[in-house]
Amino acid sequence: MWVCSKLWRVRTAARQWRGLLPASGCHGPAASSYSASAEPARVRALVYGHHGDPAKVVELKNLELAAVGGSDVRVKMLAAPINPSDINMIQGNYGLLPELPAVGGNEGVAQVVAVGSSVTGLKPGDWVIPANAGLGTWRTEAVFSEEALIQVPNDIPLQSAATLGVNPCTAYRMLMDFEQLQPGDSVIQNASNSGVGQAVIQIAAALGLRTINVVRDRPDIQKLSDRLKSLGAEHVITEEELRRPEMKNFFKDMPQPRLALNCVGGKSSTELLRQLARGGTMVTYGGMAKQPVIASVSLLIFKDLKLRGFWLSQWKKDHSPDQFKELILTLCDLICRGQLTAPACSQVPLQDYQSALEASMKPFMSSKQILTM
C-alpha cells in the first residue's frame, strides 16, 4: 500500500492534468511564450466522473487550463491512444485509479507550447510523453511540472511517439528481465497481435530471438499472419493449433522456449506453460479472458516452471526516473533504426471519441485507436 506522501503526489499529479490545480502549487513567473495576465485558456477533454462503461461515462467537456508556474510546462497534445489499461481504469478495475473526476488516457505525445522561467530541460517545440500513468492525456492541452515529462525525438513518426510509453516498454522489459536469453533462443506468446505482442515480435527480432506467436482464429487469419510475419514473427499459430498433439513435433526444428508471455489467462496460458522448456518462465501481464491462470502440478514439479507477473507501473516505482528515460531512449533508437514501428493504428478525431471507444472494445480488433487533437 502506498504511504500517504506517495498517494498525495499521485492525486496532485492527477489534479494537475485535469487543470484543477496550478501544477507548481503556487503562482510563478510568467512562462516563455505565455501571458500570465491572459484570460484562462479553455481546453477540450474526455472526462469521467464515475466508473462504469466507457461509452456511457466518458464525456467531452471544456475545462480551464491551469496557470503556468515557474517549473511548469504547457503542452498541446498531438495524439493519444486508447489502451486496454485506459478502459480498465475507467471501469474501475485497474491497479491505479486517479481521483474522480478524471481525464482519461495514460499515454500520448505532446508538443511543448510554453515553459516556466525555472524550466531548463525543455523548450517550445519539443515533443514529450508522460513519465507516469494516470495523468490524463485525452485532452487538447495541459499544464504540468517538468518532472512529469520525458522528452522524445520530434523526428520519429507521430504514431510511434504516441504509443511509445506503455506497450514497447512492457515488451522490452519482459524480454530482458526474466530469462537471460541469447540470440537463437525462442519466446512464445499469446495475444500476439496486441500492441505489446507486436512490440515483442519486433524487439525480439532485433535481439536475434525467435518467436512463436499465438492468436485466436478468425476469418482473416492469413492476412493477420502475413502482417505479423512482416514484423519479424517466425511462426504464427492459432490457439486451436497450439492444443494439437502435433505441437510436440514443432520443436524438432527450433529450441523449446524458455520464456512465455501471457496476456490472456485461462486455457491459453495453460497451453503456453505446456510448451516451455524445463526451468522456463511464464510472465503474465494481462488477463483478457478474465479467467485464472491454471498450472498443473506436474509441470511445476517435474519441469520446475516459474510463474511471474509484470506491471510497468510497478517497474517504474522500483526504478529511478533516469532508468525509465534510458529505456525510452533505447526504444527510440530502435525506432530510428527501423526496427520498431507503431502497431496498426486508426487515427480518430477527439470529437469522435464514442466510435473510438466502441472500436477499442470490439473482439478481434487489430487496429489501435489513436485520438488526434
Inter-CA distances, 211 with 92, 239, 267, Å: 34, 15, 20
Determine phi and psi for 345, rounding to 5 degrees: -130, 155
- CA end-to-end span of the chain, whole Å? 36
d(CA 359, CA 222): 22
| Burial of 51: CB neighbours in 10 Å, binned 0-12, 13-18, 19+ | middle
Burial 257-292 (b: 16+ CB within 10 A, else e): bbbbbbbbbbebbbbbbbbbbeebbbbbbbbbbeee
Write out the H or E segment, with its range, that includes residue 231: helix 221-231
Provide the 8-state DSSP code for 245: G
Catalytic residue chosen out of the listed positions 34, 94, 172, 285: 94
**Structure-block grid coordinates of residue 237:** 499459430
Among the listed residues 265, 276, 274, the one whose alpha carbon sits nearest the alpha carbon of residue 243: 274
In three-state form (DSSP H/G/I as H, E/B as E, the rest C), the secondary structure along 144-173 is EEHHHEEEECCCCCHHHHHCCCCHHHHHHH
Size of the chain in residues: 373
Let me know if 353 is a catalytic residue: no
Determine phi and psi for 59, rounding to 5 degrees: -130, 145
Determine phi and psi for 168, rounding to 5 degrees: -60, -35
**Structure-block grid coordinates of residue 272:** 503456453
Which amino acids are annotated catalytic? 94
